[in-house]
Amino acid sequence: MKFKAFKRNNSGFTLIELLVVIGILGILAAGLLLTIDPLEKFKQGNDTNTQQSAVDLENALTSYYATHSQFPWDIDSGCAAPTDPNNPAEVDTAFNSCIGDLVTAGELKSTFQSAKNVTKNLLVTFNSTKNQVSVCFDPQSKSMSSNAGTAFTKGGDGSCDPSTSTTCYWCAQ
């Protein structure tokens, strides 16, 4: 009687080999996530939207002034004037009537008021001696916080040093 030699099928991977490959892929994925930092990217996107809204609002106020020779708070008593630079008007609360006036005048889109997640971070200040309006916000992303344009105090003056202060604002002026 002849014994047939059983041929072993070696075409697959062992469990150890699969676990090693999965471990290496996990380490690479973790390194990639640390490099990309998705939370920072999300913050950058929010800051970019808020920055554009600040520019839009500042342009609308400037255009309104050019057309009417007055700001909305000079005409509408219900519009809260941002008179104190240390206490700027928050766009989503005290400044809401002014936004309505700007929308009615055609200076802002009607959808501007509904963008609460963006406008809630905007602060409006008015320097009556310079007749200058500033629309500022506190950036949340690291890249926007270190941006050269982020060098303003809450009142919109350019005396904040981002390297020494924890809260410097980006302002459209």
Tell whether 112 is covered by a domain. yes
Tell whether 12 is covered by a domain. no
How do residues 4-52 score in pLDDT, each as one tens digit? 655 566 677 889 999 999 999 999 998 887 788 888 888 998 999 889 9
Tell whether 82 is covered by a domain. yes
Tell whether 104 is covered by a domain. yes
d(CA 39, CA 59): 30
The answer on pLDDT for 98 being more than 90 is no
pLDDT of residue 5: 58
Q: Please give the model's pTM, rounded to 2 decimal places.
A: 0.75
pLDDT of residue 23: 95
d(CA 71, CA 125): 12
Mean pLDDT of 94-99: 78
What does the CA dihedral 98, 102, 108, 113 come to, rounded to 10 degrees? 30
Tell whether 19 is covered by a domain. no
User: Domains in the chain: how many in total?
Assistant: 1
